[in-house]
Structure 1
Amino acid sequence: MRVALALSLALAGCTTLSQPSSTAAGMWLTTADETQKLAPQADQQSAGATAGDEAITIDSSKHFQRMHGFGAAMTDATAQLFSGLPEDKRKAIMEELFGRGPNGLGFSFTRLTVGASDFSPDHYSYDDTPGNTPDPALRHFTIDYARRYVLPRTREALAINPDLKVMISPWSAPAWMKTTKSLIKGQLEPQYYPAFATYLARTVEEFGREGVPVSMLTIQNEPDFEPADYPGMRVNPPERAAIIGKHVGPVFRSRGLETEILDYDHNWDNPEMPWAVLSDPDARKYISGVAWHCYEGDVSAQSQVHDAFPDKDTWFTECSGGEWAPKFGEALGWFTSKLIIGAANHWSRGTLLWNLALDPKYGPHKGGCGDCRGVVTIDPATGAITRNVEYYALGHASRFVLPGAYRVSTVSRSDGVEGAAFLNRDGSRVAILYRKSGEGPVSLALDGERYSVAMPAGSVATLRWGARSGRQ
């Protein structure tokens, strides 16, 4: 679950707290040297009509996918760390991350695990049995582990931001369902496909009863990977097609569950895998979209599958920062280029990073990644909270690109500048720019108006123009 972050182009979107005119843009800037972090700048005034030679050209009349939002996963580790804070400090950081007040990032997308991941203090499923005794009737089913920390903190986030979309993913089926009879490695026994479908349905139902409605799920995290020291399960494309098309989809429909089913939940390097599942007619009718991770391959793979199946949504659902990429400026550029600008320009409706919070020792975790970084770091000994580079990369988008926004047309004429642009439901327009290289102002065209934006190399800027007329 590691990736060597390469310095690359990036782009992010932000919301303005003031309301500049429809021709002047509010601006926020983060620089590679950390002297500015989501810092407000002077309003950017129009320099007149476009000349046709601008580095970035935006046409907000050309609409593409509707965005939902940005955020990170509420893992067991994250929820436990939040829960250990004093109440006033916990409420303040939750409001900052999920709220849309003056200092809020407005996170509107999160991911929960079904049972344990590597970022859990224990390895467990929701149907562990004595001696791995088969339990096809799920008499041992319980979500008590999630009730301890994850569901209370997710309810708190939903109360702050009712637009929060929750997705869930299992890292493994219960051990008794698998070829290894262990949460680690193995495949799902075909005889237990029906029980596994019911296991997922009951998870959705129980989370809903706990006040956490599940918008989407995948049937397996990273299905082409069997980790050696934490829960995992290999589920190849024909197996996923059978599980979804003949079991999970019909069970959800019969139980009246509206939770959307996404396929894949794995890296950009094997687009043929979700392609194969979507080519199965039984599975395709139950699948609403494809989920992607960042650890291998390139973000352009998202467009390959989208172009073949344009009626299916695209979501970006996991990437982690870590100490393999410790330099703020390099990580800022890579995250913005690939996961904010790149993911949106390649059809994603939302971007999720991995752990929302970890401690200074990159945990708590059991197996798996030993140097992953959370969006924030929480020191359980002191209660100190550190906002990491991922916080600012996400914030440039989450604070300003609101649920329901359209991605709009953006054309780059410079190898040194990348961008993505959005039209919010209130008519406000947002551009996220990443300047990889170059000197002097960045020229930008927006709907016939020219702007000259001061951005040092390695920086990320968000510009927001106030609403013009009407609502979408």
Structure 2
Amino acid sequence: MRKEIYSILAIVLIMSACTDKDILEVAVYETSASGNQLKKIEEFPSSVSKDRILLNPEKSYQTITGFGGAFTEASAYLLNKLSKENRAKIMEAYFGKEGANYSLTRTHINSCDFSLSQYSYAPTEDKELKDFSVDEDLDDLIPMIKEAMTVSEEGFKIFASPWTAPPWMKDNKHWVGGKLLPEYYDTWALFFSKYIDAYHEQGIPIWGLTVENEPHGNGDNWESMHFTPEEMTDFVQNHLGPKLEKEGKGGIKILGYDQNREGLKEWVDVMYENKASSRYYHGTAIHWYESTYDYFPEALQYAHKKAPNKYLIQTEACVDAEVPHWRDDAWYWSKEATDWGWDWAPEDKKHLHPKYVPVYRYARDIIGCLNNWVDGWVDWNMVLDRQGGPNWFKNWCVAPVIVDPDTDEVYFTPLYYTMVHFSKYIRPEAKIIEVNHSDSEIMVTAAKNLNGSITVIVFNPTAKSKQFSLILDEKSKDISINAQAIQTIVIKT
């Protein structure tokens, strides 16, 4: 009997040794509708599932530029109204190494809808822009950016976008709509150059520019200026690009387009028509507002193939046309949100704008983008109030962090934790790698970081938990993910 026991123990020990050798060492973090917020998961129920996620780091795709959000006057103004403790808490949450560790950010040139009022750095008509000044940004916007730079250990890139040129440069002489008059193309190029210099003097290096936020306009609601693909390319090819190059600013990245994905083909066909047209474009900028569920993979693939060596960056996204829900995590996991198109989309586009789950929209879009050549993904406002502003046009939206400045309270919504799953664990210069998985109900993406670690992100939108075997080379790990959940799995290789 004793001999038999020893034999059984020996077999168990041998099996354990083999199993340990073949098991992947992973750290798993989960955010879920059931209440997990980047919770480290260390125990998994026994799996009987045959579903697999197979990683192939030998096959890689695009190089990651970064993830992050936007510095707006609205966000900066709100931070100034909070206590020092809560302001610091938010900045650490976004830029600290233990927080989201944002690596790619955006800001606005002149005012935008998420400003307190309409303003320009050059309000007086003058082609030489002698009165150019960024003093409007000194109270709120610039201090927020500087504080973020202090908090961030690894630093971050920042690109800037204009919503409009000063009205005096436009054919309609208004903040909203209209076109840049051809006689002011050189002046507008000078404006960009002066902006870069002014921010540099403040100690803020500008990494890149988008030529115009939403060149199709925004329904003539807030600051805007219209370009056709041909007009924007003319401006970049013959004015902005040569101006920056002549002044030694050729390293500034110029991103064209900067609107929804359905228009991508038309724009990249013009931008990258030939060497001359594409010379000064460093990449293409896109938004997500064309749909609440479709991330337009065919359009993204087309844009990449048209310019495979250029950036393809998602530069703005938010839960739009909604007043934020305060301290109500369940709403962010519920199919209750509506966007602008719920009421106003034309009939042939209505199907693109159904009610949606905010967390799902973020997770689905980011993973869909990463699996279709997008190399950067930037959210919109970092901080808004309980109304979804301040916003001079009352264009209310949701941010990952909502605050009540009157009571000095802060609410980190589930959208914040969703962003962290990507921004903290997929770092700049990471390579997206090949993933094959057998469960069509989940979404998966993976990246290999410069330090050798591999990050796998799994999104399960279903109402049931899922089990799968994660496989890398000859090692594997059985993992389960809760219903309605996002997981980040970090493999140290």
Normalised TM-score (structure 2): 0.84
Does residue 1:458 correspond to 2:484, yes or no?
A: yes
Match of 1:106, SS? coil
| Aligned counterpart for 2:77 among listed residues 80, 104, 114 | 80
Distance 1:45 1:253 in 2: 59
| Number of residues of Structure 1 aligned to a counterpart in Structure 2 | 434
Match of 2:28, SS? strand
Work out whether residues 24 and 477 of structure 2, in 8 Å CA contact, stay in contact via their aligned partners in 1: no
Q: Cα distance 1:45–1:24, how it changes in 2: closer, same or farther (>3 A)?
A: farther
Work out whether residues 163 and 403 of structure 1, in 8 Å CA contact, stay in contact via their aligned partners in 2: no
Distance 1:142 1:355 in 2: 24
Supply the AA of the counterpart residue of 2:281.
I
Aligned pairs for 1:51-450 (under 5 A) are 54-101=51-98, 104-129=99-124, 134-161=125-152, 162-257=154-249, 258-271=251-264, 272-296=266-290, 298-300=295-297, 301-322=299-320, 323=322, 327-329=331-333, 330-339=357-366, 341-367=367-393, 369-370=395-396, 372-437=397-462, 439-450=465-476
Offset of 1:73 from its aligned partner? 0.6
Work out whether residues 323 and 386 of structure 2, in 8 Å CA contact, stay in contact via their aligned partners in 1: no
Supply the AA of the counterpart residue of 2:200.
G
Match of 2:282, SS? strand
Offset of 1:107 from its aligned partner? 1.1
Bigger radius of gyration among the two:
2
Work out whether residues 23 and 476 of structure 2, in 8 Å CA contact, stay in contact via their aligned partners in 1: no
Q: Cα distance 1:395–1:302, how it changes in 2: closer, same or farther (>3 A)?
A: same
1:107-141 per-residue CA deviation (whole Å, 9 max, x = no partner) reads 11111100111000101111112xxxx31111221
Q: Cα distance 1:139–1:462, how it changes in 2: closer, same or farther (>3 A)?
A: same
Q: Cα distance 1:263–1:22, how it changes in 2: closer, same or farther (>3 A)?
A: farther
Distance 1:75 1:91 in 2: 17
Offset of 1:282 from its aligned partner? 2.6
Q: Cα distance 1:325–1:145, how it changes in 2: closer, same or farther (>3 A)?
A: closer
Distance 2:209 2:448 in 1: 27
Does residue 1:32 correspond to 2:25, yes or no?
A: no
Q: Cα distance 1:435–1:397, how it changes in 2: closer, same or farther (>3 A)?
A: same
Supply the AA of the counterpart residue of 1:279.
E
Offset of 1:267 from its aligned partner? 0.5
Normalised TM-score (structure 1): 0.88
Distance 1:43 1:147 in 2: 50
Match of 1:163, SS? coil
Distance 1:185 1:304 in 2: 29
Q: Cα distance 1:260–1:440, how it changes in 2: closer, same or farther (>3 A)?
A: closer
**How big is the alpha-carbon RMSD for the aligned residues of Structure 1 and Structure 2?**
2.1
Q: Cα distance 1:366–1:444, how it changes in 2: closer, same or farther (>3 A)?
A: same
Distance 1:440 1:250 in 2: 54
Supply the AA of the counterpart residue of 2:231.
E
Offset of 1:45 from its aligned partner? 12
Work out whether residues 325 and 331 of structure 1, in 8 Å CA contact, stay in contact via their aligned partners in 2: no
Work out whether residues 271 and 281 of structure 2, in 8 Å CA contact, stay in contact via their aligned partners in 1: no
Q: Which has the higher contact order (CA 8 A, sep 6+)?
A: 1
Work out whether residues 77 and 121 of structure 1, in 8 Å CA contact, stay in contact via their aligned partners in 2: yes
Distance 2:358 2:468 in 1: 22
Q: Report sequence identity in percent.
A: 28
Work out whether residues 229 and 368 of structure 1, in 8 Å CA contact, stay in contact via their aligned partners in 2: no
Offset of 1:369 from its aligned partner? 2.0
Match of 1:240, SS? helix
Stretch moving more, 110-119 or 160-169: 160-169
Supply the AA of the counterpart residue of 1:419.
V
Offset of 1:54 from its aligned partner? 3.8
Offset of 1:412 from its aligned partner? 3.0
Offset of 1:452 from its aligned partner? 2.2
Which consecutive unaligned segments of at least 5 residues does structure 1 have?
1-20
Work out whether residues 54 and 445 of structure 1, in 8 Å CA contact, stay in contact via their aligned partners in 2: no
Distance 1:241 1:118 in 2: 25
Residue 16 of structure 1 is matched in structure 2 by none
Supply the AA of the counterpart residue of 1:264.
Y
Supply the AA of the counterpart residue of 2:130.
R
